[in-house]
Chains A and B, each alone.
Chain A
Amino acid sequence: MNRVIVSRPLSEVEAAPKPATDSQPRARKPLSPRDALALLASLRLTVVLFVLAFVLVFCGTLAQVDAGIWTVVKTYFRSAYVWIPFQIFVPRSVQVPGGFPFPGGWLIGGLLLANLLAAHVVRFRLTWKRAGILLIHSGLVVMMLSELVTGLFAVEGIITIVEGGSSSFLELHDQNELAIIDPSDLEVDHVVVIPESLLKEDGLIRDDRLPFDVEPVRYMVNSTAPQEVDPGAPNPATAGDGKKAIVRPRPAVTGIDREQSSDVPSMYVAFKKKGGGESLGTYLVSNWWSDYLERHGEYRPQRVQVNDKTYDVYLRGKRIYKPYSVYLKKFHHTLYPGTDLDKSFSSEVRLVDPTRHEDREIEISMNEPLRYAGETFYQAGFIPGDLGTRLQVVRNPGWLMPYVSCVMVAVGMLVHFGLHLAGFLQRRYAA
């Protein structure tokens, strides 16, 4: 036995914490800024934060068995803290009450960032040995900032276009609105929209811009497909298409759902003549009216008549209008022969933007998006029966950051581990 003490790499010696002196009584001194910085920069804190991040990500994954992915992202990863129910750890056939508080993604990520920056302030030295580490960590800073930028500024929406038609607005998939449209003007439609947040609350919605008062009866975040009902059967709806078909609430789509990929909201809503007047009936409005969607590329409106005027009412994703229009010339969908397995989707579109004097024809297909004016158009889906296309449109000012980060970290790791490995092999074969 000739070597008892293991030689440690330099970085370890530098970072080794001082031996604890708990056995001796210590005078309580206020924490000096230098000590606080050292504490913030410690590797112990890094490891603790890694453990917390690990637990958070694990719980945030288990939570997706019951909750929608967006709900989980908001409550677990883009939050300062989260209440984690014990229920997520056991099979759902067993009911377990209670839970525990836990730091959320913003908090853990922020602390990791602070820890990392502090460590480099305290231990910064520009040598080859540390160049790799520096590069890796700078890359990670870029990565964390990119998630921050995405969380704060990214906007995603869907453009639905029937073949031969065009569209110039996006619909957001995580926010809905009730639109009341006066189509009587031949030039333009007059539209009033009520945001989802108001629809979820009880009570009469009154506004001068509305042609009638609106009273939400029941808002369903997700709903079952409309089922036909007999005229005599109990039915919340008293007017419109809701008299013939009924929908029921359904739990929001979870992160692991196989049957449904996104929520289909519906609502029962009553309309009343202004000023506490007579009821115009309770209607069912729903994102489900897909037979109409197939034929027209729009959801089926409910028609409400008041004072000899007819208004179209829709429940739909919140719309964002764009200066450009997208025409769908042709939608292609191929299957592998003899199967119902999708082989490819693509859309031949023409993009016209008068504000930028742009007019071009492009083919968008899976994994081949179109990037235009800070937005990216992806082939996301299609109208059932291949009648049209659905394009996901994303604006994310931070979209390039992960690419930069990836290169920085990968090069950093190659430099760092490469130097280590070279040194190790040299020592080994020299011995």
Chain B
Amino acid sequence: MNRFARFLPALVVLLALAYVVSHAVSRKEASRFHFQELAGIPVRENGRVKPLDTVARNTLMVISKRRYFNDEEKKEQPAIRWLMDAMTGKAGGHEVFRIEDDQLLRLLNLKPKPLFYRYSPDEIAPKFDALAQQAKQALALPDDQRDMFNQNVLRLSRQLDLYMSLQDLAAPSLLMVAPASENEEWRGLTEMSAHIKSGDNPAALAISRLLMAYAGEKADAFNQELVSYEQWLGEHLADSASKAQFEVFFNRAEPFYCCSLLYVIMFLLVCVSWVCYSGPLNRAAFWLGVVALAVHSTAILARMYLLNRPPIINLYSTAIFIGWGCLLLGLIIEEIFRNGLGNVVGAVAGAATTLIAHNLSTDGDTMEMMRAVLDTNFWLATHVVIINFGYAATFVAGIVGAAFILMGVFTRALQPQRLRVLGQVIYGTICFATLLSFTGTVLGGIWADQSWGRFWGWDPKENGALLIVLWNALILHARWGGMVKQRGMAVLAVFGNMVTAWSWFGVNMLGVGLHSYGFMEGAAFWLIAFEVSQLVLIAIGCLPSAYWRSFKAKALLGYVY
């Protein structure tokens, strides 16, 4: 092994770390107003105390499917600036409302902007009445009779409502006036107008002065007010303020975005390793995976700290957690077998789940408050974590199964030694998945028994979990009974992917899915596409061994069955 090969992993790790760190500390400040400091001002929105930055990013995400916007000179600007502009009536020209629907564009008399799709409130304003009229009609229709156009009209008018409530400083869920101590109530700005006039509430006064200074383009007054308000916050709400500062850092670091990039590079390294430098590149991919795991884990811990909750609280965090679980298992497999397989599993699952998580984050804050029935850290920490780890393990087995099939049918790489190893990996992972999914499901039953006295209610979500347990148990028993060997297990494990995806997303879609026009839209479409792709894989896996390139060598024919 030459020198370069020996240092390759270390080099890759260093580059990855440099990328992550530089992403976290980069500051793009080019404004007279100190937006960076403003971003850390704590407010209370949807029940949670969070920095203004988070409100800005999430609102923009809802409206624009982006966490930044382009100003009139097409320069990228931070979300916080858009929020300030919106609250002071200066955002009329910012092109942020994402409209793709042709019909809707025609209604609004707008020209299509391919690949950008975003329009400013000023562009929409002339046809606002027509939109309101359409929204009224769409609202009158029952849920399941609204077509795509109706739904897009409603979505846009909801987004405009949100924008206008910001403009009027009247967003009902956004409480900007901080209390004088941690245990008191937060207040909305409009309900404090009397206090602002009399000047007896320092927080209300500070917020209103900030907005006034911003509206009047008085940067010095703005920055000065900001400094004194931060000081006041430090004296009265030190905990919330420091947590909000940390959250701004978390937002800016975008750890999951960084990870997704690392996963793609990890996958590319493995791909190249199939051509040349197999050993060193695989090691490099492994260590890159370790860096990604560290970033991913830190990010999960940061979310736990910010929310004061176990890692999984909503669908978004399941995607984040399942990705983490798959990566962890993949790296363990890689460390045991050192053949690139674990790297592939970790990279594919990591990239896919961060992509899914990104798409789940478009309807608002991913750190939401828990409804009363879910408000129990004990069960969130046990049942929910274990069952999602079970999903992860089942996916890992399925991905290895898919690798087995693709390798066997299309390459000559699946030779006896490797065939045996892959079989062992699938078998071991399914054992693990069975343990987790069973324990998780039963713990869920115990939680149900604790909260409403019914261990098992046969509801869709429970059934989804049960299906995974049944399927994993079936694979194990089929193997113990000699009904399947490695190849059969691989095919069954791929079906496990279908079962898990269905339990994860499918059961949630049952209600909306089967009788509405939104059926082929968004998540449902991708779920179906995924299920079909797995069916195709299963079909390929069921091809007679004569069609498997790896098994064509005569000596092996007798071996496969």
Interface residues of A (CB under 8 A from B): 1, 3-4, 6, 8, 11-12, 15-17, 42-44, 46-47, 50-51, 53-54, 57-58, 60-62, 64-65, 69, 72-73, 76-77, 91-93, 143, 146-147, 150, 156, 255-258, 336-339, 341-345, 366-367, 369, 376, 378, 380, 392-394, 396, 399, 402-403, 405-406, 409-410, 413-414, 417, 420-421, 424, 428
Beta-carbon contact of B47 and A339 below 8 Å: yes
Beta-carbon contact of B467 and A54 below 8 Å: yes
Q: Which secondary structure dominates chain B's binding surface?
A: helix
Given contacts A50-B470, A339-B47, contact A396 B453 (CB under 8 A): yes
Q: How far is the CA of A406 from the CA of B447 in the complex (A)?
A: 12
Interface centre among B173, B459, B514 (most CB of A within 10 A): B514
Beta-carbon contact of A47 and B477 below 8 Å: yes
Q: How far is the CA of A369 from the CA of B451 in the complex (A)?
A: 7
Chosen A-B contacts, 29 in total, with CB atoms closer than 8 Å, are: A16-B482, A17-B482, A43-B477, A43-B478, A44-B481, A46-B477, A54-B467, A57-B463, A57-B470, A58-B463, A62-B510, A65-B510, A77-B458, A91-B515, A92-B514, A143-B442, A336-B369, A338-B174, A338-B175, A339-B46, A339-B369, A378-B453, A392-B453, A393-B453, A396-B453, A402-B446, A406-B446, A413-B435, A421-B428
Q: What sequence of 0s and 1s flags, for each residue 432-454 of chain B, a beta carbon within 8 Å of any chain A beta carbon?
A: 10110011001101100111111
Top 5 A-B residue pairs of the complex, sorted by shortest distance between their CB atoms:
A336-B47, A43-B481, A394-B453, A50-B474, A256-B511
User: Closest residue of chain B to A52, judged by CB?
Assistant: B470
Beta-carbon contact of A338 and B172 below 8 Å: yes
User: Closest residue of chain B to A346, judged by CB?
Assistant: B372
Q: What sequence of 0s and 1s flags, for each residue 170-187 of chain B, a beta carbon within 8 Å of any chain A beta carbon?
A: 001111000000000110
Q: How far is the CA of A57 from the CA of B276 in the complex (A)?
A: 48
Given contacts A1-B416, A65-B510, A417-B432, contact A54 B375 (CB under 8 A): no
Tell whether B45 is near chain A: CB-to-CB under 8 Å. yes
Task: Report B400-419 residues with CB < 8 Å from chain A CB.
Answer: 415-416
Beta-carbon contact of B439 and A6 below 8 Å: no
Interface centre among B372, B415, B507 (most CB of A within 10 A): B372
Tell whether B115 is near chain A: CB-to-CB under 8 Å. no
**Contact among A42, A60, A147, A336 for B456, CB-based, below 8 A:** A147
Interface centre among B456, B458, B482, B559 (most CB of A within 10 A): B458
**Contact among B174, B459, B481 for A46, CB-based, below 8 A:** B481
Set of chain B residues within 8 Å of A257, measured between Cβ atoms: 511
CB distance from A188 to the nearest CB of B (A): 31
Tell whether B483 is near chain A: CB-to-CB under 8 Å. yes
Beta-carbon contact of B455 and A150 below 8 Å: yes
Set of chain B residues within 8 Å of A16, measured between Cβ atoms: 481-482
Set of chain A residues within 8 Å of B486, measured between Cβ atoms: 6
Given contacts A4-B559, A392-B452, A402-B449, contact A424 B424 (CB under 8 A): yes
Given contacts A378-B453, A405-B442, contact A337 B186 (CB under 8 A): yes
Beta-carbon contact of B481 and A15 below 8 Å: yes
Set of chain A residues within 8 Å of B477, measured between Cβ atoms: 43, 46-47, 50
Further contacts, 15 of them, CB under 8 A, given A57-B466, A73-B457: A3-B416, A17-B482, A43-B481, A47-B481, A50-B471, A60-B458, A61-B463, A61-B510, A91-B514, A91-B515, A258-B511, A336-B369, A338-B45, A402-B445, A406-B446
Beta-carbon contact of A410 and B372 below 8 Å: no
Interface residues of B (CB under 8 A from A): 44-48, 172-175, 185-186, 188, 336, 369, 371-373, 375-376, 379, 415-416, 420, 423-424, 428, 431-432, 434-435, 438-439, 442-443, 445-446, 449-460, 463-464, 466-467, 470-471, 473-474, 477-483, 485-486, 507, 510-511, 514-515, 519, 555, 559
Given contacts A146-B455, A366-B372, contact A337 B47 (CB under 8 A): yes
Beta-carbon contact of B376 and A367 below 8 Å: yes
Q: How far is the CA of A72 from the CA of B420 in the complex (A)?
A: 44
Beta-carbon contact of A337 and B175 below 8 Å: yes
CB distance from B496 to the nearest CB of A (A): 11
Beta-carbon contact of B369 and A367 below 8 Å: no
Beta-carbon contact of A338 and B375 below 8 Å: no
Q: How far is the CA of A62 from the CA of B459 in the complex (A)?
A: 10
Given contacts A345-B372, A409-B442, contact A54 B470 (CB under 8 A): yes
Set of chain A residues within 8 Å of B48, measured between Cβ atoms: 336
Set of chain A residues within 8 Å of B482, measured between Cβ atoms: 8, 12, 15-17
CB distance from A405 to the nearest CB of B (A): 7
Beta-carbon contact of B47 and A256 below 8 Å: no
Q: How far is the CA of A148 from the CA of B173 in the complex (A)?
A: 48
Beta-carbon contact of B459 and A367 below 8 Å: no
CB distance from A75 to the nearest CB of B (A): 11
Given contacts A338-B175, A405-B442, contact A69 B434 (CB under 8 A): no
Q: How far is the CA of A35 from the CA of B378 in the complex (A)?
A: 50
Q: How far is the CA of A122 from the CA of B442 in the complex (A)?
A: 29
CB distance from A384 to the nearest CB of B (A): 16
Set of chain A residues within 8 Å of B452, measured between Cβ atoms: 378, 380, 392, 394
Set of chain A residues within 8 Å of B455, measured between Cβ atoms: 146, 150, 396, 399, 402
Set of chain B residues within 8 Å of A417, measured between Cβ atoms: 431-432, 435
CB distance from A265 to the nearest CB of B (A): 21
Q: How far is the CA of A427 from the CA of B462 in the complex (A)?
A: 39
Given contacts A16-B481, A399-B455, contact A92 B515 (CB under 8 A): yes
**Contact among A57, A406, A421, A428 for B443, CB-based, below 8 A:** A406
CB distance from B192 to the nearest CB of A (A): 13
Set of chain B residues within 8 Å of A42, measured between Cβ atoms: 481
Set of chain B residues within 8 Å of A378, measured between Cβ atoms: 451-453
Given contacts A12-B482, A57-B463, contact A256 B453 (CB under 8 A): no
Beta-carbon contact of B173 and A69 below 8 Å: no
Beta-carbon contact of A50 and B458 below 8 Å: no
Beta-carbon contact of A47 and B478 below 8 Å: yes
Beta-carbon contact of B510 and A15 below 8 Å: no
Q: How far is the CA of A57 from the CA of B424 in the complex (A)?
A: 29
Beta-carbon contact of A72 and B458 below 8 Å: yes
Q: How far is the CA of A258 from the CA of B144 in the complex (A)?
A: 13
Q: How far is the CA of A47 from the CA of B424 in the complex (A)?
A: 21
CB distance from B287 to the nearest CB of A (A): 22
Q: How far is the CA of A258 from the CA of B464 in the complex (A)?
A: 19
Beta-carbon contact of A341 and B371 below 8 Å: yes
Interface centre among A76, A255, A345, A428 (most CB of B within 10 A): A255
Beta-carbon contact of B481 and A58 below 8 Å: no
Set of chain B residues within 8 Å of A73, measured between Cβ atoms: 457-458
Set of chain A residues within 8 Å of B481, measured between Cβ atoms: 12, 15-17, 42-44, 46-47
**Contact among B173, B443, B450 for A367, CB-based, below 8 A:** B450
Beta-carbon contact of A156 and B515 below 8 Å: no
Q: How far is the CA of A17 from the CA of B478 in the complex (A)?
A: 11
Set of chain A residues within 8 Å of B464, measured between Cβ atoms: 61
Q: How far is the CA of A186 from the CA of B261 in the complex (A)?
A: 79
Set of chain B residues within 8 Å of A341, measured between Cβ atoms: 46-47, 369, 371
User: Closest residue of chain B to A58, judged by CB?
Assistant: B467
Q: How far is the CA of A73 from the CA of B47 in the complex (A)?
A: 38
User: Closest residue of chain A to B451, judged by CB?
Assistant: A367
CB distance from B381 to the nearest CB of A (A): 13
Beta-carbon contact of B458 and A69 below 8 Å: yes
CB distance from B263 to the nearest CB of A (A): 27
Beta-carbon contact of B474 and A64 below 8 Å: no
Set of chain A residues within 8 Å of B185, measured between Cβ atoms: 337
**Contact among A338, A394, A410 for B186, CB-based, below 8 A:** A338
**Contact among A12, A57, A256, A428 for B479, CB-based, below 8 A:** A12
Set of chain B residues within 8 Å of A43, measured between Cβ atoms: 477-478, 480-481, 483
Q: How far is the CA of A416 from the CA of B511 in the complex (A)?
A: 40
CB distance from A10 to the nearest CB of B (A): 10
Set of chain B residues within 8 Å of A424, measured between Cβ atoms: 424, 428
**Contact among B372, B449, B467 for A344, CB-based, below 8 A:** B372
Beta-carbon contact of A65 and B173 below 8 Å: no
